[in-house]
Structure 1
């Protein structure tokens, strides 16, 4: 076992956070800004890259940090180490409504491919890297970009996603088609590609975009019901324009606006 063996507990339903229990000397890594709270005796340190220990030396650390920049993440990650004599707890919260999914990489083939912003925290030793799609079509039309994250190791990792999460286990040759933004994560065996929606009318007026993801088994995939991009677009559309009421508001306020607005 190369990773630190950490224990955890999830709290909440739709606005979750994860509490990680650290034995003396154990360390957990997390994205910058993911910390919710921590007990006394835990040392927090900012590091280059993911702290997995791979690629020794300055150049190795710079390369590890550079890979994170490609995925749109910060150059730095934060480690939390228990330097006390007893068990200590540190908690991390999701950045938007949804679920936190614990992933035991030792039971998932040692590797998970996920959305570039899905990673929340992991036991020290888990490598957070870049996964380039083999097919150009998946890269240009995948909705989440050409680059996805990969988590490698044999320890626990935590990813987050929006809305309700469902895990689908695909048999060999079984195909599942999903909206490109709804794909959260998949195991290394799953074949991932992008297909164009058939039919001109469906593509133009169906409201679901021109492309969807095709996932072919064997393997496991995790799907989210509410991608953050979809939530953000709805919030932006409903936001008041030019300081006035939103277009969806009604009632007396809406009637007065008819006479007061130029």
Structure 2
């Protein structure tokens, strides 16, 4: 299918992009990797009159360490995440998750900014960013501001972005040395969205879980932070009873829609299994170190 007509803009700075968004209003959309927006335009589910291509903005590209945070600028692609030694050493779960996104062709073009800013509950990065307690850097007509990922998602395709704002960077605290991590994703085929997925980051002390965070993907209208599930394993050795409590607590907040990936009951069931698997694999990484 063919998108409707639109005017193409390619700004060279964040300020120019923000100005264009402000001037063109609701009929303008920023374009990052395009893997969510372009299909919607082809289906005429989105009909923007103006596309503002962010690829010409050098300040939106790159990965750096700033103190105890890794800063990933919005137009950094999934392929660049996978190629980064800094990501592999400091945020290995981000490397693991990026490798499970779609396929190589998509990863060469898809950006972290587009993945987290779109508000698509099927995207993999939002749930991971909740787990990692990331912060999003935004810039708009009123200047710059920071919003915690855990406060950013308001509903399917609804976020804390104000009119005229763009997401410019993702800032992620570096997890402590020796932490365990895992991203478990069930999907029908290569390139598909998750039927259900779970991210886990934890630490252990003396054989018991000291800290834990669990994020869920495509199991509600937004990514979810499973706080009660994480609490259920803290202080335990991740025995079978603790794993079951965590899975049950995670299932209690899931509200997926039934679709081609299966009915809601099935997706909730396998969502709990993804939580158990991710917890086990995260702990195994610590024990094997």
- TM norm structure 2: 0.27
- TM norm structure 1: 0.29
Which has the greater radius of gyration? 1
Could you say which structure has the greater relative contact order, defined with CA pairs below 8 angstroms and 6 or more residues apart?
1
Q: Greater strand share, 1 or 2?
A: 1
